[in-house]
Amino acid sequence: MASKATGPLPAVDEDADNAALQHDPWRRSSGLSRGLAVFERFLADAGFDRAPWLAVAFAGGIAAWFALNGRWQWLCLISLCLAAVLAGLALLRRDGRFPFLRQAIVAISLMVAAGCLTVWSKSVLVGQPPIERPMVVHLAGTVLDREEQPADERVRITLAAREPGTDRPIRLRLNLPIDMDRQDIAHGARVRVHARLMPPAPPMLPGAYDFARTAWFSGLSATGSVIGPVEVLEPGNSSGLVSRAQTGLSRHVRDRLDGSAGAIAATLASGDRGAIGEDDAQAMRDAGLAHLLSISGLHVSAVIAAAYLLAIRLLALWQWLALRVRLPLLAAGVGALAGIGYTLLTGAQVPTVRSCIGAVLVLAALALGREALSLRVLAAAALFVMVLWPESIVGPSFQMSFTAVLAIIALNTSAPMRAFLAPRQEGLAARGLRHVAMLFATGFAIELALMPIALFHFHRAGIYGAFANVIAIPLTTIVSMPLIAAGLLLDLVGLGAPAWWLAGKSIDVMLALAHFVSSRPGAVTVLPAMGWGSIALFVLGGLWLALWHTRVRFWGLVPIAAGIVSLILLRPPDILVSADGRHVGITGESDSDLLVLRTTRSDYVRDNLTELAGMRGDLRQLSHWPGARCNGDFCALDLERGGRSWKLLIARSKERVPERALAAACERADIVIADRWLPYSCRPKVLKADRRLLSRTGGLAIDLENQCIRSVADEQGGHGWWRNGER
């Protein structure tokens, strides 16, 4: 056995140890502090940009306002955030440990509270209560806006008027048949109309489009249609220059090009989508090309890039100017003016303004010699948009546009892609193949990133979009848009016909591509309504994957994988009931067809039922199905779900039924559904979804397998646009 060393113990330098402890908090951490030290070390070593996470926190505060149920929960969230800020500041002042962690807590808490307050303030300032009930009225108002929609044979006008019965100032939107339209029904006209008015419609079913929310943030209290001739009390004479230019430009383009090509050319030139047929629009959506029909980042960027390159080339020819002025700065100014002008000309809609802001920020980065395409620029654009239009974050336009740009930045700034695109000695063909491969990879990444959002909002997504976009995007930006611009310029001297002919042919090629891709087997994936939990997993995983720079980013694949599993396990509800009880859909009984209580000519009803059921088959009337027992008043059927038989009784008419017979039928049923008020003596075993209940809950999605019910009211909370919400 070796003997122990003997001798004097070394001296301990207590001052040096204390100094080391002060500068290295991980050496003195224990218990809870040790866990906090792990996070502190992670933040210190991550080397990430803070601005994108601040934008995410601001968006999180807005999303929390929509998710929470009322003012007391909103106040509680804001109070918790402010408490976290004060606690973080106090501890940071008293104890210097964990500076990165404490700064993160303070900054994120402030941004979450700011986001919640921003959207709450916008809701209070612009939101208007809807009218109490449907009505047919005569009213007078002033035309605030008009939008021509030739494809739907109507003109959509927005009026400022007084609510009948209360004299409350309201804004309403009316559909005017195109054969009733007159040129003097213009902006600023004073008109009297006979109209059918409706409160803005809430979702028909859980997970459906919420027009009532959109109308609330647009200040609309009613929508409807004109049902008689319009009397013009004072003709419109205050139409703005931009509005006249947009309308005139759209008509001019449609005069030069007929049919679908003219409709799409008018969209690219002026932002007017009213002439695009539904078949073409659906084919573009299914092929993943719908973004080409809305003036967004692609179109604005193309205009700004063309103006920038043209300006810098032409200005470089002026030697005196080139030697005395920074040409990139001047060219950036020209590009910004071109982008702003194009945005105003195409209607200055929120998506277009958002795209213009982002493009102008990119120009500013170029002028200052900074990296043009970066997460900081994207975060700045997102914050600007969310401050002005906080409600946009729950809509597909905001989510899809920023997700697409985020995917592009994350892919192009990753180390493998930088290495792949790095300059090297190679031939022109090899370089071209590398860029084509990068174009395919970018398109594929964008399609993967957008697919969960498309499935969440539209319940369908195209899977060949990456390949279609590789052809359609260059065709639109390099061929179609320059030819349309050339046609407009040459029309000044009467020589635009060849350019218009070529532009029409290029658009025909794009449409043919859209119809070809959308008609391929498996081109469209259809799923039932996705829950908030599933989309939250995809958002969390995508943000984590895109915003970190080190290998820790790959932890974002975990929630994405969980989201994919949730989609695989997703099954449609067994029963769908509309808010008025008139429309009932039953899944899983007739192959790919959806059993419905009554057929309908309404595309809105049909699309809602089939999309939320995740089905692409036809509607099959319940009375024609052998498994149902129907008479003139009710249909009865049995559904085998979850290891038991469920007995359903569904009302078909509003005819008077003997109460004793109805009570006996209800007693034998598990679920009774009716579009009228049923007497209290009707007591089914599980659920009575009559008009009394549906007026409180809205539409229902019933899952018999798991014995749970989702309602529209569950998704609305105490927001002002819901009829039971807090005003």
**Model confidence over 196-207: pLDDT tens digits?**
999 998 999 998
Q: In CATH, what number is assigned to the domain containing residue 218? A: 2.40.50.140
Q: Residues of 654-675 as b/e, b for ≥16 C-beta within 10 angstroms? A: eeebeeeebbebbeebbbbbbb
166 exposure class (CB count in 10 Å sphere: 0-12, 13-18, 19+): exposed
634-641, strands of its sheet edge to edge: 628-630, 634-641, 644-651, 671-673, 687-689
Report yes or no: 446 and 407 within 8 Å, Cβ to Cβ.
yes
Report the pLDDT averaged over residues 521-539. 85
Q: Are 129 and 166 in contact (CB under 8 A)?
A: no
Kindly state whether residues 350 and 487 are assigned to the same domain.
yes
Supply the Cα-derived Rg of the chain in whole angstroms: 30
Asked if 597 contacts 635 with a C-beta cutoff of 8 angstroms, the reply is yes
Contacts of 169 (CB under 8 A, 6+ apart): 160, 161, 162, 163
Please tell me the predicted confidence (pLDDT) of residue 28: 45
Helices within 191-326 (DSSP H only): 211-218, 241-256, 259-270, 278-286, 297-316, 319-324
Mean per-residue pLDDT, 317-326: 82
Evaluate whether residue 589 is within a structural domain: yes
Residue 654 lies in a domain: yes
Tell me: do 562 and 585 sit in the same domain.
no
Query: What residues are paired with 404 via a beta bridge?
Result: none
Pick the last residue of a domain from 209, 236, 263.
236
Q: What pLDDT does 2 receive? A: 40
CB 265 within 8 A of CB 484: yes
- Please tell me whether residues 278 and 355 are part of one structural domain: yes
608 and 659 inside one domain: yes
Query: Tell me: the pLDDT tens digits for 665-685?
Result: 999 999 999 998 999 999 999
Beta bridge partner(s), residue 711 = 700
Residue 246: is its pLDDT beyond 60? yes
Contacts of 429 (CB under 8 A, 6+ apart): none
Provide the residue range defining the domain that includes 545: 532-568
Interhelix angle 71-94/50-67, nearest 10 degrees: 150
Return the residue matching tokens 């969209």.
267
612 plus 654 within the same structural domain: yes
Residue 336 lies in a domain: yes
Task: List, as one string, the DSSP characters of 1-40.
Answer: -PPPP-SPPPPP-HHHHHHHHHH-GGGG--THHHHHHHHH
Q: Which tens digits make up the pLDDT trace of 501-527?
A: 999 999 999 999 988 988 887 777 788
- d(CA 22, CA 10) in angstroms, rounded, equals 23
Instruction: Say whether both 349 and 489 belong to one domain.
Output: yes
545 and 584 together in one domain: no
∠ CA 650-652-658, nearest 5°, is 85
Average pLDDT over residues 357-368: 76
Q: Does any domain span residue 266? A: yes
- Indicate the SS3 state at residue 441: helix
pLDDT of 454 higher than 90: no
More confident residue, 49 or 497: 497
Quick check: is 441 in a domain? Answer: no
Q: Judge whether 701 lies within some domain.
A: yes
Q: Are residues 366 and 504 in the same domain?
A: yes
Token pair in block for residue 668: 């034998």
Give the percent of the chain with pLDDT over 90.
27
Lowest pLDDT segment from 80-89, 229-238, 531-540:
229-238
- CB-neighbour burial class of residue 586 (10 A; exposed 0-12, middle 13-18, buried 19+): buried
β-pairing verdict for 154-162 and 135-149: antiparallel
Of 239, 224, 235, whose CA–CA distance to 172 is shortest? 224
| Model pLDDT, residue 396 | 86
Instruction: Find all residues with CB under 8 Å of 687, minimum gap 6, and list them.
Output: 670, 671, 672, 702, 709
Answer whether residue 265 shows pLDDT above 60: yes
Write the pLDDT tens digit of every residue in 550-576: 788 889 999 999 999 998 888 889 999
Closest of 524, 506, 453 to residue 288, by C-alpha: 524
Q: Are strands 671-673 and 644-651 parallel, antiparallel or unpaired?
A: parallel
pLDDT at residue 86, as a whole number: 87
How many domains would you assign to the chain? 5
Task: Tell whether 380 and 310 lie within a shared domain.
Answer: yes
Residue 464: pLDDT over 50: yes
Q: Tell me which H or E stretch contains 338.
A: helix 327-345
What distance in Å separates the CA atoms of residue 118 and residue 391, rounded to the nearest whole number?
Answer: 10
d(CA 7, CA 431): 72
Residue 563 pLDDT: 92
Lowest average pLDDT, out of 147-151, 296-300, 604-608, 650-654, goes to: 296-300
Pair 316, 193 in one domain: no
DSSP for residue 153: T
Residue ending a domain, choose from 109, 126, 143: 126
Amino acid at 375: L
Model pLDDT, residue 36: 67
**pLDDT tens by residue, 376-429:** 888 888 898 899 999 999 988 888 888 888 888 888 877 788 787 777 777 778
Judgement on whether residues 540 and 663 belong to the same structural domain of the protein? no
- Is residue 497 a part of any domain in this protein? yes
Residue 347 near residue 378, CB atoms below 8 Å: no
Residue type, 325: V
Residues 207 and 292 in one domain: no
Phi (first) and psi of residue 650, to 5 degrees:
-125, 125
Give residue-wise pLDDT tens across range 88-109.
777 666 656 777 778 888 889 9
188, β-bridge pairs: none
In this prediction, residues 648-673 reach a mean pLDDT of 90
Q: Which of 463, 495, 526 is the last residue of a domain?
A: 526
pLDDT band at 267 (very low <50, low <70, confident <90, very high): confident
Residue 727 lies in a domain: no
Q: What is the residue-wise DSSP string for 618-686? A: -EEEGGGSTTEEE-SSEEEEEEEETTEEEEEEEE-------HHHHHHHHHH-SEEE-SSPPPTT---SS
